Structure 1
């Protein structure tokens, strides 16, 4: 399938090479056997958009919908792909899971996230950003992010510490 975008509109699929995109999509499809491949691709694309906005460090107070979170989870499971993605985007986006709680869902929070994605130049697949009981697709993700959960923000890349010195020889070793 060829996707034609209007000038100035960013293509989230281009954030990964085709093989990596397929691997992440396969994870979503495997973890959600009732979900078709096309829907799994849509979920990954929205997850990529979310990570792109979260990694740039300018947006605070954003979170994925429960469906989009499934795409983010699949990205995280592919650690090398996710690390490279975050490095290219400007910052590592940590995940702070929360158990699902539809009472915690805040439509204004999701609206703010969708607005940030659009401001970054990505079109939003609004169907996948609906509330926890969206009636569109069920996902296996067992967390729901909300304003009061852990901060979703890029963190500076930690600097590697030097290897610790070897332990001092014991009395037996010196005898």
Structure 2
């Protein structure tokens, strides 16, 4: 018998003032409406929390979720406080470059599955994935500017 996973609310991971501030930054910097910016920040939090809990999974954000990651990282005081609260240390953001040697790009499929397993809802529109094996490196995504699979 399967056990239901209780959904976690990403809003509980930051104080309301930080949530709304980050949503406003995403709206300002990426031209999103409030609802889309909230979904983006929610997926950003789900991704960051899961990445700290599942260090065994090679995770990476989809391009649209990465907008939220970048906005949050640039708000360094709030981002550092969040990192210390959820991970006990700074969560570094290291972008993957396709030309780098010595490592594969993170799999969006694995990332999405890990986030779901951690109990967060996944917004598939923002991840450009239906649990497909895809990465943000534009080396094979369906939205790749260099031609996808």
Band of TM-score, shorter chain: 0.7 to 0.9
- 1:48-127 aligned at under 5 Å gives the runs 48-90=45-87, 91-98=89-96, 109-127=107-125
Q: Decide which of 27, 30, 33 is 2:28's aligned counterpart.
A: 30
Q: Decide which structure has the larger Cα Rg and report it.
A: 1
Partners in 1 of 2:10 and 2:119 — Cα distance? 10
Question: Is the 8 Å Cα contact of residues 65 and 145 (structure 1) preserved in structure 2?
Answer: no
**TM, length-normalised to structure 2:** 0.73
Partners in 2 of 1:126 and 1:39 — Cα distance? 13
Partners in 1 of 2:30 and 2:65 — Cα distance? 13
Partners in 1 of 2:35 and 2:115 — Cα distance? 21
**TM, length-normalised to structure 1:** 0.63
Partners in 2 of 1:75 and 1:18 — Cα distance? 14
- Structure 2 match to 1:149: none
RMSD: 2.7
**Residues 8-64 of structure 1: CA deviation (Å, up to 9, x unaligned):** 21001111111100111111000122x211101110100001110112253331100
Long gaps (5+) in structure 1: 1-5, 132-143, 147-175
